Chains A and B, each alone.
Chain A
Amino acid sequence: MKAWEVEDLHVNYGKKQVLWDVSFSVPPGVMVAIVGPNGAGKSTLLKTALGLVEPLSGKIDLLGQPVKKVKQKIAYVPQRESVDWDFPITALELILMGRYGRLGLLGRLRQADREAALRSLELVGMGDFAHTQIGQLSGGQQQRLFIARALVQGGSLFFLDEPFAGVDLATEKSIVSLLQAQKEEGKTIFSVHHDLPTVEEYFDWVILLNTRLIACGPVKQVFTAENLALTFGKSQELFDEAASLSAKSISGIV
């Protein structure tokens, strides 16, 4: 069984093509970097897999099933800027949200949920901040909270959207070792990643993406200069220009 399988995926925002004919599959128990330039559709790929964005066409399976059936097995870390950090909740309350899925709309929190949240807070080194309002924390600490929230979800697939953006090096290292520990337990981790030099150090599998899929496979085989040139290089420009021209013609702008 594959952890994540994508077939002929097309995603548009309005008339703009974001993902174009993407197909790949990833086995379970690996740590995967999703790499590509800005606007390559990395976050969109993640959100489509999680059912947050509707694809134009194509099929996505997680653990061999459509996402609706495996929601309980997914842990998600959105981009840090996607939420309002001035929101009136404490660190502990934020982490407890990881358990709300099990409660449904009317359920109450159990003692076990609270203790799991506190343990997870300790695990990311934030034990002293349980009752701090989230806006008073630093960027790195906020990111640790998101990781802790994903950990109490207890999923077997982790999807992370730029977990290291605006985060200090110490936090980055500790997040990586937490994720690697999860991988050792057989969980699969997907992370949108920006920093090319650390790909080989942190990850063992890579998806290279630039609207099209460039390559998908083990880092040692796929993370080559040639593929990187294809992903980030100038040859892509012509394709982008043609695609944008096509979008404009279809919508009657040109």
Chain B
Amino acid sequence: MSLIDFFIDPVLRGPTWGTLFMCIASGLIGSVLLLRKKTLLAESLSHAAYPGVILGVSLFALAFPAHEEWAFVSVLAGASFSAFLALKGIEWLMRRKVSPDAALCFILAVFFGAGIVAASSMQSQLPSWHQKTQMLLFGQAATMTGIHVALYGGLALSIALFFLLMYRPLQSVLFDRDFSSLLGLNVKWLERLIFCLLLASLIVGIRSVGVILMSGMIIAPAVAARQFTHHLHRMFFLASFFGALSGLLGNFLSIWGSMYLSTETERMTLPTGPSIVLVGSCFAFLSLLFAPQRGLVSRLFRIGAFRLRRLEENILKYFWKKGTLSRKILHETLHVPMWALFLVLRRLKKQGWIEGAYSLTPDGMKRAASIVRLHRLWELYLTEQLKLETGKVHKTAEEMEHILTPDLEERLTHLLGAPTQDPHQQPIPEKSRFP
């Protein structure tokens, strides 16, 4: 079985294309929810769709017991109806000054609870139909056919088209709602349209991922995409990309995993829906960790780089004050482990700031003097301009000497009138005019 088979094989292509489109749609809609800080809405509404599904299918079973192939219409109608009701309930509670997350959770619990109760009474009355609704809890992608693919493809296409045509108004409404309505943009109409698209993607998503995990598929691609860019259009693009990728890889995972786990005597299946959500969540998690600008790892790396520079500058400053120093004395004054000092000193030597068994090179002298200069300028600024006590300024100057930029230095010099002495009557080194 090759990769191409997933797209063309009569059995496999349904789930592959179906989940691919579904995930693109939910990734795009999810970006909107994420930027509006309303991600919990997806969670509440997808759970709230469940009682509607049970009710719809039950009514359908009583009215047309022989037309099982049309039952999906009752699923769609029931789900839309109860999700819409849930939204109205949430809005009503929020108007009553119930806090948004309480309202969302309350509605989720009430609706989902009602759904479970209805489902268990259905189990005894309509056992064969009950089975159909149970699969909607965690979805069942494997049985998707051409009609599903067409439906999901249509939905993904209309959402993508909507984002393309309405990109600017959408951007404006997401960023600043009041301002947009004052511009004369039809904010209410736009929001209703977004809600309808959200509802549509939730309900069709239920078929493949299930009511319980659907919100994960809405949020995960958007969270992943947000970590990589400062541009809205790129975020939309990346969210649909991550969505599509999760859909595909989730499918592979489920099918390969099932084959790998099954033995000759026992058949195991990895369900598709949860696999997709798992892959999507992995993308989100890895992005949070490793994204170049916003990722946790790169931030830790930047913090580490700053600490290293601070240590180096402190060492240079000590050399400037004391002349020649051994590693042992540095260890005792700076409380830095010997091995770390060894590495830092070797680095400083390599970069040409120190030489021999540790004294400053002429270049090192200049760099150290400029650090001392920033330290003393800052102390003078605090005592003279902000009227702080002389005894209390050393500590913050220890920090600021590593922070102040050349621009700030120039402004400080100008403000203080090119001073020559700090508040402790120590000379302030002049700014060196030559490299």
Q: Which of A52, A71, A109 contacts B184 (CB 8 A)?
A: A71
A56 close to chain B: CB less than 8 A: no
Q: Does any Cβ of B come within 8 Å of A187's Cβ? A: no
Taking CB atoms, residues of chain A closer than 8 Å to B186 are: 105
Q: A87-B35, A133-B230 are in contact. Are A52 and B181 (CB under 8 A)?
A: yes
- Residues of chain A contacted by B37 (CB below 8 angstroms): 84
Instruction: Report whether B178 and A89 are in contact in the complex, using a CB–CB cutoff of 8 Å.
Output: no
Q: How far is the CB of B241 from chain A (nearest CB, A)?
A: 16
- With contact pairs A89-B231, A89-B232, A106-B166 given, residues A71 and B182 touching in the complex (Cβ less than 8 Å): yes
Task: Report which of B183, B184, B235 forms a contact with A88, defined as CB distance below 8 A.
Answer: B235
Bound complex: CA A106 to CA B168 (Å)? 8
Q: Count A-side interface residues using an 8 Å CB cutoff.
A: 32
Residues of chain B within 8 A of A101, CB atoms compared: 182-185
- A153 to B183 Cα, complex, angstroms: 9
Q: Is the CB of A88 within 8 A of B179?
A: no
Among B171, B172, B178, point to the contact of A78 (Cβ < 8 A).
B178
Kindly state the separation between the CA atoms of A153 and B381 in the bound complex, as whole angstroms. 42
Q: In the complex, what distance in Å separates the CA atom of A47 from the CA atom of B175? A: 18
CB proximity of B291 to chain A, nearest CB, Å: 13
Query: Residues 148-188 of chain B: 1 if any A CB is under 8 Å from the residue's CB, otherwise 0?
Result: 00000000000000000110110110111011111111100
Chain B nearest CB: distance from A248 CB in Å?
14
Residues facing B in A52-109 (CB within 8 A) are 52, 71-72, 74, 76, 78, 82-84, 87-90, 93-94, 97-98, 100-101, 103-107, 109
Q: How far, in whole Å, are A89 and B236 apart by their CA atoms in the complex?
A: 12
- Please, which residue of chain A has its CB at the minimum distance from the CB of B31? A88
Proximity string of chain A (212-232) to chain B, C-beta cutoff 8 Å, 1 when within and 0 when not? 000000000000000000000
Contact residue among A83, A100, A133 (Cβ-Cβ distance under 8 Å from B183): A100
Chain A residues with Cβ under 8 A from B184's Cβ?
Answer: 71-72, 101, 104
B175 touches A87 (CB 8 A): yes
Contact A87 B183 (CB under 8 A): no
Q: Which residues of B contact A97 (CB under 8 A)?
A: 171-172, 175-176, 179-180, 183
B232 touches A100 (CB 8 A): no
Q: Shortest Cβ distance from A99 into chain B, in angstroms?
A: 9
Closest chain B residue, CB of each to CB of A94: B175
Q: From B190, which residue of chain A is reached at the shortest CB distance?
A: A105
Residue of B nearest to A133 (CB): B230
**Is B433 at the interface (CB under 8 A from chain A)?**
no
Residues of B in contact with A, size category? 20 to 34
| Chain B residue with the shortest CB-CB distance to A132 | B230
Q: Which of B35, B174, B185, B226 contacts A100 (CB 8 A)?
A: B185
With A and B bound together, what is the CA distance between A52 and B190 in angstroms? 17
CB distance from A140 to the nearest CB of B (A): 15
Cα A84 to Cα B34 in complex, Å, equals 12
Q: Please tell me if the beta carbons of B175 and A105 are within 8 angstroms of each other in the complex.
A: no
- Does A50 lie within 8 Å of B175, measured CB to CB? no
* A116 CB to nearest chain B CB (Å): 15
CB nearest neighbor in B for A135? B230
With contact pairs A90-B231, A109-B168 given, residues A78 and B176 touching in the complex (Cβ less than 8 Å): yes
The complex places the Cα of A71 from the Cα of B37 at a distance, in Å, of 28
Interchain CA distance A64-B281 in the complex, whole Å: 56
Contact A84 B175 (CB under 8 A): yes
User: Which residues from chain B contact A197 at a C-beta distance below 8 Å?
Assistant: none
B178 with A88: CB separation less than 8 A:
no
Residue B97 is within 8 A (CB to CB) of chain A in the complex: yes
User: When the two chains form their complex, are residues A103 and B175 in contact, meaning their CB atoms are under 8 A apart?
Assistant: no
Q: Taking the complex as formed, is A186 at the interface, i.e. its CB lies under 8 A from any CB of chain B?
A: no
Q: Does A51 interact with chain B (Cβ within 8 Å)?
A: yes
Q: Is A252 an interface residue (CB 8 A)?
A: no
Q: Which of A108-167 touch B at CB < 8 Å?
A: 109, 133, 135, 153
Q: How far is the CA of A133 from the CA of B226 in the complex (A)?
A: 13
Using Cβ atoms and an 8 Å threshold, which residues of chain A touch B165? 106
> Does A100 lie within 8 Å of B97, measured CB to CB?
no
Chain A residue numbers with a CB within 8 Å of B176 are 78, 82-83, 97
B134 near A: Cβ within 8 Å?
no
Complex interface: chain A residues within 8 A of B39 (CB): none
Contact between chains at A88 and B185 (CB < 8 Å):
no
Task: Please state if A88 and B232 are interface contacts (CB–CB under 8 Å).
Answer: yes
Known A-B contacts A84-B175, A88-B229, A89-B232; the reply to A100 vs B166 at CB < 8 A is no
Chain A residues with Cβ below 8 Å from B231 are 88-90
CB atoms of A90 and B178 under 8 A apart: no
Which B residues are CB-close (under 8 A) to A98?
183
Complex contacts, A106 vs chain B, CB 8 Å? 165-166
- Chain A residues near B168: list those with CB within 8 A: 100, 103, 107, 109
Task: Point out the residues of chain B lying under 8 angstroms from A50, CB to CB.
Answer: 178, 182
Listed A/B pairs (15) with beta-carbon separation below 8 Å: A51-B181, A76-B179, A78-B179, A82-B176, A83-B176, A87-B232, A88-B232, A88-B234, A89-B231, A94-B175, A98-B183, A100-B185, A105-B185, A105-B186, A153-B183
**Residues in chain B within 8 A of chain A (CB atoms):** 35, 37, 97, 165-166, 168-169, 171-172, 174-176, 178-186, 190, 226, 229-232, 234-235
Known pairs A47-B178, A109-B168; list 14 more (Cβ under 8 Å): A71-B183, A72-B184, A76-B182, A78-B178, A87-B35, A87-B175, A88-B232, A88-B235, A89-B171, A90-B231, A98-B183, A104-B184, A104-B185, A105-B166
Those 3 A-B pairs whose CB atoms lie nearest each other, nearest first? A101-B183, A133-B230, A71-B184
The interface of chain A, by Cβ under 8 A from chain B, is 14, 47, 50-52, 71-72, 74, 76, 78, 82-84, 87-90, 93-94, 97-98, 100-101, 103-107, 109, 133, 135, 153
